Structure 1
């Protein structure tokens, strides 16, 4: 009979990691850069509590991606044994379970369904198209012509998401728009009211509304603040206003919350992530301590020195200066590494040289293709072009499917072209 996962031995921790594991009470912000052993520290901190007699069900680990949640669950299960592993989940999964558990069965017979991004896009565009005809909402005249465009629908979706992240309902958004003299925001407030009515009628939620309702439940249900002895948060720098409110409600006054974050990796502001959640951690959680992991195990000394030159130009106010210096002054575990910077007159010249560098590394230095990587800044716009340029230059290229829009996938793009051609041919026959 097959048993559960075999337990692994506890790893050897450095002094900074051990200090985090030994933290038992109150809020703590851990400044943890890449390669500092953040995940190991988080798992060991949770394991130490379980081995000390804590109930695993009263330990909550929150992260942002399903992949990260699976990794945390697997590592905790290997460290403690499957039955003793605490819950590790994404914010959205946790919120969905919370909302489902408190769903009003008199109003909703079936479980609330989450809208996908494309489904939400279709709903918003359909409502906007209807308003162009019936004029139920007084959009400014200079915007009315744009109601049926994809760009305007994207802007409206962003406004709705930001409003709910900030805890604003239609009434509060309308009042704010009046104070600011913004008729476009007043129209958006009326649209938000109509949009929420449609969600309720369909028994659906989008991701921003899911978080908003979970926050309201957590704030209005005192028992939830007593449900967990400790909450661990991975990638805290990616949290938005709603997630911060959720954590404050779940932790309660003086509760034990251990957040791992890196202000130098705060790159998701376009999704609502707020770096001030990290910078103002001690204000949001009074009495909080701030520590840093101080050993860099992934990057060699030269790379750490180069990144240090960049981060010194990125101020992080309101955090203890000693912790910030320790966070950025990592001690490398290995020497070597090389950092080179190139500039190019055109994007095409840049692509050609990248391909040439990769070819030379493979042919002259014997570096396997699978040991090379190219990182780009904007995946949706840059990855397809980069991939075509590399393949045209004889460099085999694989891209992460999650980073490529579906319409650009090799198996999908020709199909869409064929469908467009068939559609045009059909229109011609008519």
Structure 2
């Protein structure tokens, strides 16, 4: 009988990275003795390096176990990058370091601590489009049953997608502020907004329906995770487990996520948050960039003092040319009221680490149509590749709206012979060219 080969899968050894050279401000963050700390970090100032080195310092010099570190961020890609870079610095895999998105961490909390019978089956998370569909189904039923007293001006819109989307935004905002349905009703009565009163009644009904169907939207997930983490017994267990908490892109947190952090690390423990109030991208879903500057008032040291603030003041991403252009743009932004003038100047006017990043240049061009713009971008990229020998992999095109711009640019660049790699989460499935063709065929069938 022939022998059966024995195959073994062995993990690749973790890449090893040497310790980077830190500037004075980065070193001050890494050497912070403990307690809450806010770091303002503009683009290219070494924010991620500082976060990684702070974790490495706690593990290698201060004796923390990797499992005692919790890192929270806003995308799976960012969480994966943090894990990879920490592993490279430690020279080993870091399965113990928990680098997670807020929502993944909240889901784990709910599954771990919530009522076992209530969550015997894992709750299904509703994406924004799925939530819109479910709300619209409930609204259609509302028009037939009349259980909620909707204002006459809204009744004709109960079957529309637009109202479902607006209602989803209102309920998510209410949850991010910690509102229960009666709170939304009370807010509507106080403000003379009958639509809020009706939305509060609908809010209560939708929660009952979603509970019966084991479904959660993301705002409800964070709300319930905060309730779980605030329970004294659960809170004690979580604080024993997480001696050092790190938050990336803190300016994108909403009030509910801040409340979760206060439950996890509001006792003056080692908490490092990094952010840039000029870069908030999630205000449309309730994020409050001003909350970043209120961090020292919300998180105190164990001695009762306000959390200290440090600023990273050297950019390595661009030289004087781009730096001057960026300063002219941010000069139009309001001065954060809680920052003193010196701190504000350090943050808004970083120095350039010449000659490491060169000078750079800024050009502004306008076009008569989106098609002309796409063709010109393709021309610029081909010229840089053919005339300047610049690899395709070192070029990038940034757009304001992925749904509207990326498919058009992708077609134009491909037609011009420019290879295109679109980030997987930039274009929804329905907007992919092949899927659009299929959807059109289905509509015409």
Please report the TM-score for the alignment, with normalisation by the length of structure 1: 0.91
The CA distance in 2 between the partners of 1:357 and 1:165, in whole Å, is 44
The match for 2:365 among 342, 365, 384 is 342
Paired residues, number: 422
User: 1:174 touches 1:186 (CA, 8 Å); kept in 2?
Assistant: yes
Other-structure match for 1:426: none
Q: Does 1:99 align with 2:113?
A: no
8 Å Cα contact 1:10/1:79 also seen in 2: yes
CA RMSD of aligned residues (A): 2.2
Alignment correspondent of 1:232: 246
- CA positional deviation for 1:344: 4.3
The reply to whether residue 142 of structure 1 matches residue 153 of structure 2 is yes
Alignment counterpart, residue 211 of structure 1, candidates 214, 222, 230: 222
2:294 to 249, 273, 280: 280
Shift of 1:139: 1.0
Please list the CA deviations of residues 246-265 of structure 1 after superposition, one character each: whole Å capped at 9, or x if unmatched.
11121123222110101121
Shift in Å, 1:289: 1.0
Query: Please, which moves more after superposition, 71-80 or 224-233?
Result: 224-233
Structure 2 residue runs without a partner (length 5+): 1-7, 301-305
Matched, 1:332 2:355: no
CA positional deviation for 1:389: 4.3
Structure 2 CA distance for aligned equivalents of residues 151 and 164 of structure 1: 20
SS at 2:261's partner residue? helix
Give distance in 2, aligned partners of 1:355 and 1:9: 39
Q: Is the 8 A contact 1:73 1:85 kept in 2?
A: no
1:73 to 1:309, Cα distance in 2 relative to 1, 3 A: same
Task: State the distance in 1 between where 2:95 and 2:213 align.
Answer: 39
Provide the C-alpha distance between the structure 2 equivalents of 1:63 and 1:206, rounded to a whole number of angstroms: 19
Q: Which residue of 2 aligns with 1:198?
A: 209
SS at match of 1:176: helix
Candidates 271, 278, 285, aligned match of 2:285: 271
Question: What's 1:290 paired with?
Answer: 309
The whole-number CA distance in structure 2 between the counterparts of 1:237 and 1:300 is 25
Question: What CA distance in whole angstroms lies between the structure 2 residues aligned with 1:299 and 1:199?
Answer: 49
Q: Which runs of 5+ in 1 are unaligned?
A: 423-430
Q: 1:77, 1:85 within 8 Å by CA — same for their partners in 2? A: no
Whole-angstrom distance in 2 between the partners of 1:372 and 1:82? 31
Shift of residue 57 of structure 1? 2.2
Pair 58,320 (structure 1): closer, same or farther in 2 beyond 3 Å: farther
Structure 1 319/253 Cα, relative in aligned 2: closer, same or farther at 3 Å? farther
Q: How high is the TM-score relative to the length of structure 2?
A: 0.88
1: distance between equivalents of 2:115 and 2:180?
20
1:68 partnered with 2:78? yes
The answer as to whether partners of 1:76 and 1:85 remain within 8 angstroms in 2 is no
Aligned counterpart, 2:171: 160
Secondary structure of the structure 1 residue equivalent to 2:434: coil
Equivalent in the alignment of 1:399: 422
1:33 aligns with 2:36: no
Distance 2:37 2:351 in 1: 22
In the TM superposition, residue 36 of structure 1 has moved relative to its aligned partner by 1.6
Aligned position for 1:79? 89
Give the whole-Å Cα distance in 2 for the aligned partners of 1:43 and 1:394: 39
Query: Structure 1 residues 228 and 382, CA, compared in 2 at 3 Å: closer, same or farther?
Result: same
Q: Is 1:225–1:252's contact at 8 Å kept on the other side of the alignment?
A: no
Q: Aligned pair in 2 of structure 1 residues 118, 346: CA closer, same or farther (>3 Å)?
A: closer
Shifted more, 401-410 versus 240-249: the winner is 401-410
Distance (Å, rounded) in 1 between the aligned partners of 2:435 and 2:394: 28
* Offset, 1:209: 0.5
The answer (yes or no) to whether the contact 1:280–1:319 under 8 Å persists in 2 is no
Give the secondary structure class of the aligned counterpart of 1:292: strand
The question of 1:321 aligning with 2:329 is answered no
Distance in 2 separating the partners of 1:267 and 1:99: 27
2: CA distance, partners of 1:145 / 1:401: 38
The correspondence for 2:123, drawn from 89, 104, 112, is 112
1:249 aligns with 2:260: no
Structure-1 residue corresponding to 2:66: 56
Report the alpha carbon displacement of residue 354 of structure 1 after superposing the two structures with TM: 3.5
Cα distance in 1 for residues equivalent to 2:26 and 2:368:
45
Alignment deviations for residues 183-218 of structure 1 (CA, whole Å, 9 cap, x no partner):
111111111101100111112211110100111122
1:151 aligned counterpart, secondary structure:
helix
Asked if 2 retains the 8 angstrom alpha-carbon contact of 1:293 and 1:327, the reply is: yes
Q: How far off its partner does 1:87 sit? A: 1.4
Matches of 2:183 and 2:272, distance apart in 1: 33
Residues 73 and 102 in structure 2, CA contact (< 8 A), matched pair in contact too: yes
